[in-house]
Chains A and B, each alone.
Chain A
Amino acid sequence: MTATLRLARTTGSGVRDQRRLLAGLLVLGVVLVAVFLLSITMGSRAITLGTVWDSLLRPGSGSVAQTVVREIRVPRTLLGVLVGAALGLSGTILQGVTRNPLADPGIMGINSGAAAAIVASVMLFGAGGLSTYVWFSFLGAGAAMLAVYSIASFGREGATPVKLALAGAAVTAGLSSVTSTIVITHSDALNELRMWQVGSLAGRYLPVFWQVLPFIAVGCAVALFSGRALNGLALGEDIAVALGQHVVRTRLVMFATVAVLCGAATAACGPITFVGLVVPHLARLLCGPDYRWILAYAAVLTPVVLLGADILGRVVLANGELQVGVVLGVLGAPVFIALVRSRNLVKL
């Protein structure tokens, strides 16, 4: 189905098509704003839009509802948008660079790298909160990704989906035994880890947002301008070289971008699996094979999905809430399995 879709796109692309894609993007933008507002108003305490408006315009007044909006709901939602964009873009880039439809920060072991690094930092420097461990998270994410990708690309046929997934699972297993060694011998590391691990947007508000904002902003900027390079790589390494690309340099820049985006997102919200895998496919279905559009769509669509999952997690339990990572893990796995089962897995 995707093949015919792609054929239609490549033959029929033109100004009208561009306009249609732009309109689609605008619609998605409106949806994002709607989900954003929904995320501010919904929760254990329902808040009307009027109160939201008041609390943002008149910061002096101090009713409980207004404090909730300013201190909790808005920062949490902003963080969700930021992390969503980061995960969606890094998933798209990973799929484009590895030309692998199943590349995902979770599957590729990036999360476990970040987890191991965070636990190690707690062991070495004590539980210092995000400010110390965001750097470790970058380091761990980058190292794990590099390890998984280089292990998987040994051999003639390069990094196939199965090799990448197995290398990811294996590196995850290795790293998780490091993590558990530390966790079993250091209680405070366990406490830090298990709260971080479920990928919760709860309890991490404004300071976290400001801390990861610069990294994710730079990463997103680089990512959004990488469409042309990814289009070149999608044609195959030889053609990309013939088109005048520095393939090795492009790959390095792309991997560094993914490490920064994933590292920051993972440090802020814990390991969130599947969303970086599924949304780029969704975006590809909507807008065809041009990576410039896929990136733009993924950057808007992933926050929508992430915030949606976060809202779902808030309302689905009678008391307490389900963390966003758990919701996405449960919802994402069936989509992943459907992708695997589909007779012709999208060729990238």
Chain B
Amino acid sequence: MSTQTLSPPPQAPPVGTRAADVRRARRRLGLLVTTGLGLLALALLVLTMMVGSYGLTPWEVVASLAHQSQDPATDFIVRGLRLPVAATGLAAGIALGVSGAIFQKLLNNPLASPDFVGVSSGASLAAVASIVLFNASSVAISGSALIGALVSATLVYVLAFRGGLSGYRFILVGIGVSELMLSLVGYIVARAELFEARQAMTWLVGSVGQAGPGQLWALIVALVVLLPVAILLERPLRSLELGDDTARALGTRVELHRLALIAVSVVLIAFATAAVGPVLFVALVAGPLARRLLGPAGGHVLAAGFVGASLLLSSDLIAANAFSSPLPTGLVTGAVGAPYLVWLLVTANRQGLGG
């Protein structure tokens, strides 16, 4: 599961082939897999817009998106109703996947998802407080969730910092902070009227459909700015994975790069959580899945983003259509994610990667 345990590349090179050839072959494979995953996410995006109480063909959807459709009803359904939801799913999925993959690599632990180490719980606390105590609008809820996630992540970083950052301390402090936040969430939910408590619980599960246009645009801007940064930082991330000393010897500025990576992934997940709520497991699962598909090839972060988007879009497809009334997306990701998680925990610990 880790890149250190190299499985043989697909075309085993003859003895004596130069390392550059192997590297080139890997890069080609990485590009291929990443492109494939990107196409899968796009296909799911179109599929999301086809399915619903009024079915559409893929051509109708694409034509309407390209402003070539003659039918105003189709235009309204596709561009007015379904595109915002589908686009939110795509963007939030990419953000969650990228963020999760960076966290897992940085803390060198396949279980170190931002779900668990205080980022999501900070967002939850702020959002629930604004729902129950201030009766806030949807944009205000998202705004406070964003601030909550950033504040909570900063808190964890500062508390875990002690002449350098160790993944071990970061995870444990994160879990401690998370418990603190969640006990306050419980308190607020208990104080609320039942109606508000339901609203808060629904937000806490997370749903792609709950984002308004403001949240969607904020998320897209964050993604456009930070995704290139994340891809550029992939090289220092890889050398950090080898350990601080090796990374330093390879010319990585350890603390600076680590801070930059944490900042990028925290901001990404904060925007995603603000838009769709703390959807569980997508960030956790995307990284290991992408790694499994890519093998030793590079380009891991972007691939994880596409896996995240595919996961979130297909979960929302199921949640919105498979039941008599539409359910929040987080319920489906939870149901799919929980068994996978147990399996992941067992294999990760068996290989001694659990921490």
Taken residue by residue from 328 to 348, chain A's Cβ proximity to chain B (1 for < 8 Å, 0 otherwise) reads as: 111011001100110000000
Q: Tell me whether A166 and B186 are in contact in the complex, defined as CB-CB below 8 angstroms, given that A177-B338, A180-B334 are known contacts.
A: no
Residues 149-183 of chain A, each 1 if its beta carbon lies under 8 Å from chain B, else 0: 00111111100111101111111011111101101
Q: How far is the CA of A273 from the CA of B184 in the complex (A)?
A: 12
CA distance A323 to B246 in the complex (A): 49
Chain A residues with CB under 8 A of B172: 102, 161-162, 165, 340
In the complex, the answer to whether B280 meets A187 with C-beta atoms within 8 Å is no
A317 smallest CB distance to B (angstroms) = 11
The segment from B12-20, B226-234, B306-314, B340-348 that touches chain A is B340-348
Contact between B176 and A183, CB atoms less than 8 A apart = no
CB contact list, B303-354 vs A, under 8 A: 327-328, 330-331, 333-335, 337-338, 341-342, 345-346, 349-352, 354
Residues on A with C-beta less than 8 A from B198 are 184, 187, 190
Name 26 interchain pairs, CB-CB below 8 A, sorted by A: A107-B179, A154-B346, A155-B350, A162-B109, A162-B172, A166-B345, A167-B349, A173-B334, A175-B338, A177-B205, A177-B280, A180-B205, A183-B201, A190-B198, A194-B186, A195-B190, A326-B187, A330-B180, A330-B184, A332-B179, A336-B179, A337-B173, A340-B169, A340-B172, A340-B173, A341-B169
A152 CA to B184 CA, complexed, in Å: 28
Q: Give the one of A157, A181, A337 with max B CB within 10 A.
A: A337
A301 to chain B, nearest CB (A): 21
Q: A337-B173, A340-B172 given as contacts; is B334 within 8 A of A166 (CB)? A: no
Residues of B in contact with A (beta carbons under 8 Å apart): 109, 111-112, 115-116, 159-160, 162, 168-169, 171-173, 175-180, 182-184, 186-187, 189-190, 192, 194, 197-198, 201-202, 204-205, 280-281, 284, 327-328, 330-331, 333-335, 337-338, 341-342, 345-346, 349-352, 354-355
Contacts A154-B349, A163-B355, A184-B201 given; indicate if A173 touches B173 (C-beta within 8 A). no
Q: Which residues of A contact B281 (CB under 8 A)?
A: 173, 177
Q: CB < 8 Å: which of B115, B171, B337 contacts A165?
A: B171
Q: Which residues of A contact B183 (CB under 8 A)?
A: 198-199, 273, 325-326, 328-330
CB-CB nearest 8 A-B residue pairs: A177-B334, A329-B183, A174-B338, A162-B355, A333-B180, A154-B349, A155-B349, A169-B116
Whole-angstrom distance between the Cβ of A214 and the nearest chain B Cβ: 28
If A155-B351, A180-B201, A194-B189 touch, whether A166 touches B112 (CB-CB below 8 Å) is yes
B330 & A180 in contact (Cβ 8 Å cutoff): yes
Q: Is A274 an interface residue (CB 8 A)?
A: yes
Give the residues from 238 to 288 in chain A that come closer than 8 angstroms, CB to CB, to chain B: 271, 273-274
Docked Cα-Cα span, A198 to B333, in Å, equals 26
B330 in contact with A177 (CB, 8 Å): yes
Among candidates A169, A178, A274, residue contacting B178 with C-beta atoms closer than 8 Å: A169
**A151 with B346, Cβ < 8 A, contacts A174-B337, A177-B338, A180-B331 known:** yes
Q: How far is the CA of A174 from the CA of B350 in the complex (A)?
A: 20
Which of B171, B175, B204 gathers most chain A CB within 10 Å? B175
**Chain A hits for B345, CB < 8 A:** 151-152, 154, 166-167, 170
User: Looking at chain A, what size class is its interface with the partner chain?
Assistant: 35 or more
Nearest CB on A from B207, distance (A)? 10
Please give the distance in Å from A289's CB to the nearest CB on chain B: 23
Chain A residues at the B interface, C-beta cutoff of 8 Å = 102, 106-107, 147, 151-157, 160-163, 165-171, 173-178, 180-181, 183-184, 187, 190-191, 194-195, 197-200, 271, 273-274, 322-323, 325-326, 328-330, 332-333, 336-337, 340-341
Task: Select from chain A the residue with minimum beta-carbon distance to B347.
Answer: A154
List B contacts of A323 (CB < 8 A). 187, 190
Contact A325 B186, CB 8 Å, known A163-B349, A173-B115: yes
A139: min CB distance to chain B, Å: 18
* B280 proximity list for chain A (CB < 8 A): 173, 176-177
Whether B190 contacts A166 by the Cβ 8 Å rule is no
Q: How far is the CA of A333 from the CA of B156 in the complex (A)?
A: 12
Task: Tell whether, in the assembled complex, residue A173 and residue B349 are in contact, meaning their CB atoms are under 8 Å apart.
Answer: no
| Among B180, B186, B352, contact of A197 (Cβ-Cβ < 8 Å) | B186
Cα separation A340 to B214 with both chains bound (whole Å): 40
CB-CB under 8 A from A332, the residues of chain B are: 179-180
Counting chain B CB atoms within 10 Å of each CB, the highest count among A151, A191, A271 belongs to A151
Are B354 and A155 in contact (CB-based, < 8 A)?
Answer: yes
Whether the Cβ atoms of B159 and A174 lie closer than 8 Å is no
Complex Cα gap A324–B93 (Å)? 38
Given the complex, which residues of B lie within 8 Å of A161, measured CB to CB? 172
Looking at A107, A163, A187, A322, the one whose CB has the most chain B CB atoms below 10 A away is A163
Give Cα distance in the complex from A183 to B331, angstroms: 11
- Whether the Cβ atoms of B179 and A322 lie closer than 8 Å is no
Closest residue on chain B to residue A340 by CB atoms? B172
B168 touches A162 (CB 8 A): yes
Chain A residue contacts of B171, Cβ below 8 A: 162, 165-166
Task: Kindly name the residue among A160, A174, A183 whose own CB sees the greatest number of chain B CB atoms within 10 A.
Answer: A174
State in angstroms the CA–CA spacing of A163 and B168 once bound together.
10
